[in-house]
Amino acid sequence: MTKPNPMLQRLETERFILKPLGRIEAYRVGRANWNHDPEIMRNLVHSSRPLGRLKWLKKMVWVNGKSKFSHAIVPKDGGPAIGIHGVTLQKHRSAVLVVAVHDRQWWGRKVVAEVRRAIIDHAFERQVVDRFCCTVQARNTASVFNYKKLGFKHVGTLHQAQYDPDSGELFDTLIFELLRADWDKQRENRS
């Protein structure tokens, strides 16, 4: 019998339970909260236009149990999920991260740093990956902040690489990377 993927485990942080999601739950939580939030949609898919059901299933449900894993971010105090964190495994022991916090009451309260730190710790400790690589819109400065805060290094810029169908503008994308060795150094410094 094969062991379940470590990314299917439930995790805990100081303030949150990170509950692994199945496809149906990920669809429900994501679509109900993000599809009509232009700001979230723009940051996730570069367009504020709502997506139809099939397109949502294809693009926005980051769950397949093999290479895509999502965790609902649930406050320990109770209440519904305030967002979802997704991990997509890629070739050569790399992974891409994505997160959306739809409950605006939690914005500016360091949710992403806390959640992502736990996910990254877990993925490195359980030998899931050796590297994380993420791309982000250059103007999504809150997201840029979160990558920098976690020690991701800016390793490149894709100029005018993405297109916003709403505004008709091309925009720049930043590439950030975090290697296991750099994370280990950070952890030593923290302790």
Residues of the shown chain interacting with another protein in the complex, contacts defined by CB under 8 A: 107-110, 112, 138-139, 141-146, 148-149, 154, 157, 159, 172-174, 176
Instruction: Please state the closest distance from residue 174 (CB atom) to another protein, in A.
Output: 5
In the chain, how many H helices and how many E strands?
6, 8
For another protein, the closer of residues 40 and 174 by Cβ is 174
For another protein, the closer of residues 158 and 181 by Cβ is 158
CA distance 29 to 35: 10
Instruction: Please state the closest distance from residue 152 (CB atom) to another protein, in A.
Output: 10
Instruction: Please state the closest distance from residue 183 (CB atom) to another protein, in A.
Output: 16
Instruction: Please state the closest distance from residue 58 (CB atom) to another protein, in A.
Output: 29
CA distance 7 to 20: 8
For another protein, the closer of residues 69 and 176 by Cβ is 176
For another protein, the closer of residues 8 and 133 by Cβ is 133
CA distance 94 to 26: 23
For another protein, the closer of residues 127 and 157 by Cβ is 157
Instruction: Please state the closest distance from residue 25 (CB atom) to another protein, in A.
Output: 26
Instruction: Please state the closest distance from residue 145 (CB atom) to another protein, in A.
Output: 4
CA distance 85 to 88: 10
169 has which bridge partners?
A: 164
For another protein, the closer of residues 59 and 149 by Cβ is 149
CA distance 132 to 37: 27
Of the candidates 145, 121, 115, 120, the one whose C-alpha atom is nearest the C-alpha of residue 133 is 120
How many angstroms separate the Cα of 159 from the Cα of each of 10, 18, 89, 175? 38, 35, 25, 11
Of the candidates 113, 96, 105, the one whose C-alpha atom is nearest the C-alpha of residue 151 is 113
